[in-house]
């Protein structure tokens, strides 16, 4: 799979529909990759890493956000803009196409995209068959599929087959009906791992397979900013190519922050939330600024998150949300908006008079500007408590909410995983999750052994049981699991 060099990224719409062969993985920043690789080698050989500057906020000083607060800070994915883009593409499709297949990486949530599209277009949305229907009599389910000219959608093709001699009949007959013209136009979603397997079972080369382009660093930063601001940007079809673009709507703004890339990074959304700043708990550096006036580029931290998640929006969002923290005594920590460096200097002096303890914990905007010019990350730590006091006294400076972002963690699989665990993990990925009784029936091991291994993998957070009753590989372990299976020459997906 080809990758995108971060230096050649071009600004464009966040959502872009592309052919499966045109999917491009984002690349990690070179310095970040080298540093993490060196750390892994030192751990492997039992060498102690050199002491570094202490964190601005230690894990003991912070706590995870409550679910309600997390939802308020980072809203769920809104698929309406992507569904509009999909409809625009469908309006230009060839009338000879029997179906389009939208391929979704694990946890990306593209089934939600197709369900949103169906609601927008008043199209029939076909529920998945039960496992009993898949492995048994499926004639009734197939007979209920729309046969007219109206388009319809089946969001989860991965639910229509099982890797078992009795579990392939339904999906084969579905393809026969599609390609023979017995059904109306179908918009069908399919998990990328299931699609990789089905290529050997049904004539997938006869249909069009599409996916959403991977989120590179810039797209990811803009998208996370939209979610933090409370809504998606407006789409416009006024671009020369006719593809939707983000249309600026004025203040308030969402801007990714960090080292400038020379690209315009301002993104506007209509929302009245107060300004928010996302700061790295280790360095104090600003990672993302929402509803703020800062004009800054995409940080290497967000570029690494894009690479770590393989450009998968669902995985990136889960990883990002898991890292958000606040201070226990200040769940809505705020910092005052300073208009020039003299305000920050005055705040620093008052902090010294209060005991010299505030310099390491404060976040003034003016200090941010000074530290950005000097390239000194220590400056980001100044002005927090003093900023709060200044805001209380004047009462006329807008308060900026500070969210702390814990350092990224790359999960490593437990040593000693063998063929039995590999078969379980592969089965879960091929079917986008399975309930216990189905996993036990698909694998060659004794049922009690499979059940025991499921519990062991769950105990180390490699998999988890979700509300729909299915076991799935966790977003945190996905990259490691994929590498583990590829190293054992198991079939893997293309995205």
Give 437-479 pLDDT, tens digit per residue: 999 999 999 999 999 999 999 999 999 999 999 999 999 999 9
428 and 448: one domain?
yes
Does 411 map to a domain?
Answer: no
446 and 474: one domain?
yes
Pick the more confident residue, 128 or 330. 128
344 and 479: one domain?
no
Pick the more confident residue, 88 or 9. 88
Does 25 map to a domain?
Answer: no
264 and 184: one domain?
no
What's the CA gap between 101 and 210, in Å, rounded?
Answer: 6
300 and 399: one domain?
yes
Return the CATH number at 468: 1.10.10.10
Are the CB atoms for 215 and 14 separated by under 8 Å?
A: yes
202 and 263: one domain?
no
Q: Given a cut of 50, is residue 268 above it in pLDDT?
A: no
125-139, 347-361, 420-434: least confidently modelled range = 347-361
Confidence at 58, pLDDT banded by 50, 70, 90: confident
Dihedral through CA 110, CA 111, CA 117, CA 118, nearest 10?
170
Q: Given a cut of 80, is residue 163 above it in pLDDT?
A: yes
Does 398 map to a domain?
Answer: yes
The predicted-structure confidence for 401-431, as pLDDT tens digits, reads as follows 899 999 999 999 999 999 999 999 999 999 9
What's the CA gap between 201 and 105, in Å, rounded?
Answer: 20
Task: Classify 167 as helix, strand or coil.
Answer: coil
Q: Sign of the CA dihedral 53, 59, 60, 66?
A: positive
Q: Are strands 63-64 and 99-104 parallel, antiparallel or unpaired?
A: unpaired
259 and 372: one domain?
yes
351 CA to centre of own chain: 39
Residue range 297-322: average pLDDT?
95
What's the CA gap between 93 and 98, in Å, rounded?
Answer: 10
Average confidence score pLDDT of the chain: 78
Q: Are strands 124-125 and 324-326 parallel, antiparallel or unpaired?
A: unpaired
* Per-residue model confidence (pLDDT) at position 271: 38
124 and 143: one domain?
yes
| Closest-CA residue to 299 (of 258, 347, 252, 247) | 258
Task: Classify 212 as helix, strand or coil.
Answer: strand
What's the CA gap between 346 and 366, in Å, rounded?
Answer: 11
Does 35 map to a domain?
Answer: no
Residue 468: DSSP 8-state: T
Does 10 map to a domain?
Answer: no
Count other Cβ atoms within 10 Å, centred on residue 349: 11
200 and 238: one domain?
no
Confidence at 327, pLDDT banded by 50, 70, 90: confident
Q: Does the pTM of the predicted model rise above 0.75?
A: yes
What's the CA gap between 95 and 19, in Å, rounded?
Answer: 18
Give the H/E segment covering residue 186.
Answer: strand 186-191
Are the CB atoms for 404 and 327 separated by under 8 Å?
A: yes
Are the CB atoms for 180 and 416 separated by under 8 Å?
A: no
Are the CB atoms for 381 and 417 separated by under 8 Å?
A: no
Task: Classify 333 as helix, strand or coil.
Answer: coil
Q: Would you state the structure tokens that stand for residue 232, as one six-digit string?
A: 């998606």
Task: Classify 403 as helix, strand or coil.
Answer: strand
Q: How many domains does the chain have?
A: 3
196 and 143: one domain?
yes
Sequence-ordered alpha helix ranges (H) in 395-477: 419-430, 436-442, 447-459
126 and 152: one domain?
yes
**Could you tell me the residue range of the domain that residue 459 belongs to?**
419-487
What's the CA gap between 106 and 208, in Å, rounded?
Answer: 20
304 and 396: one domain?
yes
């Amino acid at each position: 799979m080809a990758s995108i060099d971060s230096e050649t990224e071009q600004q464009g719409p966040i959502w872009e529909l592309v052919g499966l062969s045109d999917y491009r993985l984002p690349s990690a920043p070179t310095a970040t990759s080298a540093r993490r690789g060196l750390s892994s080698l030192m751990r492997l050989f039992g060498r102690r890493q050199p002491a570094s500057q202490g964190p601005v906020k230690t894990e003991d000083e912070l706590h995870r956000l409550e679910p309600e607060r997390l939802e308020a800070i980072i809203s769920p994915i809104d698929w309406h803009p992507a569904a509009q883009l999909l409809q625009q593409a469908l309006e230009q499709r060839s009338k000879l196409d029997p179906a389009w297949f939208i391929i979704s990486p694990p946890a990306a949530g593209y089934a939600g995209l197709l369900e949103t599209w169906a609601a927008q277009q008043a199209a029939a949305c076909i529920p998945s068959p039960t496992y009993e229907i898949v492995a048994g009599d499926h004639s009734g389910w197939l007979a209920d599929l729309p046969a007219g000219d109206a388009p319809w959608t089946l969001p989860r093709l991965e639910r229509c087959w099982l890797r078992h001699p009795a579990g392939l009949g339904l999906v084969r007959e579905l393809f026969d009906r599609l390609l023979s013209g017995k059904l109306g136009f179908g918009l069908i979603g399919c998990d990328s791992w299931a699609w990789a397997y089905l290529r050997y079972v049904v004539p997938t080369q006869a249909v069009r397979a599409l996916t959403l382009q991977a989120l590179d660093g810039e797209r990811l930063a803009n998208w996370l900013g939209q979610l933090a601001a409370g809504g998606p940007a407006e789409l416009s079809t006024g671009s020369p190519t006719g593809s939707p673009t983000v249309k600026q709507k004025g203040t308030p703004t969402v801007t990714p922050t960090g080292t400038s890339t020379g690209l315009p990074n301002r993104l506007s959304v209509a929302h009245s939330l107060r300004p928010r700043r996302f700061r790295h708990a280790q360095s104090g550096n600003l990672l993302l600024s929402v509803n703020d006036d800062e004009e800054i580029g995409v940080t290497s931290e967000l570029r690494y998150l894009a690479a770590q998640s393989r450009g998968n929006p669902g995985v990136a969002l889960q990883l990002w949300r898991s890292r958000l923290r606040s201070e226990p005594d200040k769940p809505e920590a705020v910092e005052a908006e300073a208009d020039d460096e003299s305000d920050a200097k005055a705040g620093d002096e008052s902090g010294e008079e209060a005991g010299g303890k505030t310099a390491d914990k404060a976040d003034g905007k003016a200090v941010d500007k000074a530290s950005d010019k000097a390239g000194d990350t220590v400056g980001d730590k100044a002005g927090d408590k003093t900023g709060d006091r200044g805001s209380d006294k004047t009462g006329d400076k807008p308060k900026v909410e500070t969210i702390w972002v814990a350092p990224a963690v790359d999960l490593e699989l437990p040593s000693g995983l063998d063929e039995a665990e590999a078969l379980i993990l592969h089965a879960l990925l091929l079917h986008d999750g399975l309930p216990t009784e189905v996993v036990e029936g698909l694998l060659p091991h004794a049922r009690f052994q499979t059940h025991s291994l499921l519990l062991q993998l769950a105990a180390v957070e490699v998999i988890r049981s979700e509300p729909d009753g299915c076991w799935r590989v966790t977003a945190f372990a996905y990259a490691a699991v994929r590498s583990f299976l590829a190293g054992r020459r198991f079939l893997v997906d293309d995205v």
